[in-house]
Amino acid sequence: MIEVASLTKHYGSRTAVSDLTFTVRPGRVTGFLGPNGAGKSTTMRMILGLDRPTRGTATVTGRRCADFADPLREVGALLDAGAIHGGRTARNHLLQLAQSNRLTAARVDEVLGLVGLAAAANHRVKGFSLGMRQRLGIAAALLGDPPVLILDEPVNGLDPEGIHWIRHLLRDLAEEGRTVLVSSHLMSEMALSADHLIVIGKGRLLADMPMAAFVDRY
Ligand code: ADP
Ligand code: ADP
């Protein structure tokens, strides 16, 4: 479960996130929808403890992410996959993350298989397409087998086959009882993958309802 209360972020005089309150429940895919610049990434970064709220709180499983001793086992995150830097191979990128979190090399190979990168495991990330970087970022998020997943625009750069794959992956993760928060600026994408929808615009909450209710109303 993710709980956000009165979450607010100002950058100088600009308000990126304004008084957001919502809960993300386990066992379903929650879509986080809003146009570019709406404040989705900033909200996710604050939930993950990577950005400091100006006001308000965000907790994952009742605690602040900054307090987790083993963050990768508590919450997996995909943020800005395009920025994953590239000198290392995909396998080494994940091995480094695994080692600093006391996870095994066997688990690295397992997640590489899960995201369809087994054949590219020993290729350097710098040659990867955005779609492959998304898969690698998802592998990193899954590495610690966390109960909570926060994925920022995971579908960007994926081809139709990749988009189909990710929809199934999100569904499976939710059916396993995990909490899954996934952002997109495309309603068409949300309609196909989310059970519940949280919509923001200009940093403010616009809607928080089951997908079926949203589709009925709008
Ligand atoms: P989204 O993820 O929905 O596209 P963001 O959270 O990235 O939106 O951005 C929300 C707003 O906050 C935008 O106006 C953006 O320009 C601004 N913003 C985000 N990060 C920073 C930052 N580090 N410094 C200043 N403004 C920022
Ligand atoms: P460094 O590479 O400098 O050691 P980190 O250990 O913070 O940096 O992170 C390494 C990589 O792991 C980065 O690509 C980062 O985005 C990613 N990462 C950090 N935290 C998480 C998380 N909770 N889930 C998935 N990936 C993460």
Q: Enumerate residues lining ligand 2, CB below 6 A.
A: 71-72, 75-77, 84, 97, 100, 140-141
156-173 CB burial, b ≥16 within 10 A, e <16: bbbeeebbebbbebbeeb
What angle is formed at CA 51 by the lines to CA 47 and CA 53, rounded to 5 degrees? 75
CA 7 / ligand 1 centre spacing (Å): 14
Q: Check residue 125 and give its pLDDT.
A: 95
Picking from 42, 122, 128, the residue whose alpha carbon sits closest to that of residue 83 is 128
Closest C-alpha to ligand 1, atom 10: 39
Q: Is the pLDDT of residue 215 over 90?
A: no
pLDDT in tens, 47-71: 999 999 999 999 999 999 988 988 8
Q: What is the C-alpha to C-alpha distance for residues 5 and 60, in angstroms, rounded to an integer?
A: 12
Q: What is the C-alpha to C-alpha distance for residues 116 and 179, in angstroms, rounded to an integer?
A: 23
Provide the mean pLDDT of the chain: 94
Looking at this protein, which amino acid is placed at residue 76?
G
Rounded to two decimals, the pTM is 0.89
The closest-lying atom of ligand 1 relative to the alpha carbon of residue 12 is 25
Model-level ipTM above the cut of 0.95? no
Q: What is the C-alpha to C-alpha distance for residues 41 and 151, in angstroms, rounded to an integer?
A: 10
Mean pLDDT value across residues 106-115: 96
Looking at this protein, which amino acid is placed at residue 208?
D
Q: Which residue has the tokens 């590239």?
A: 86
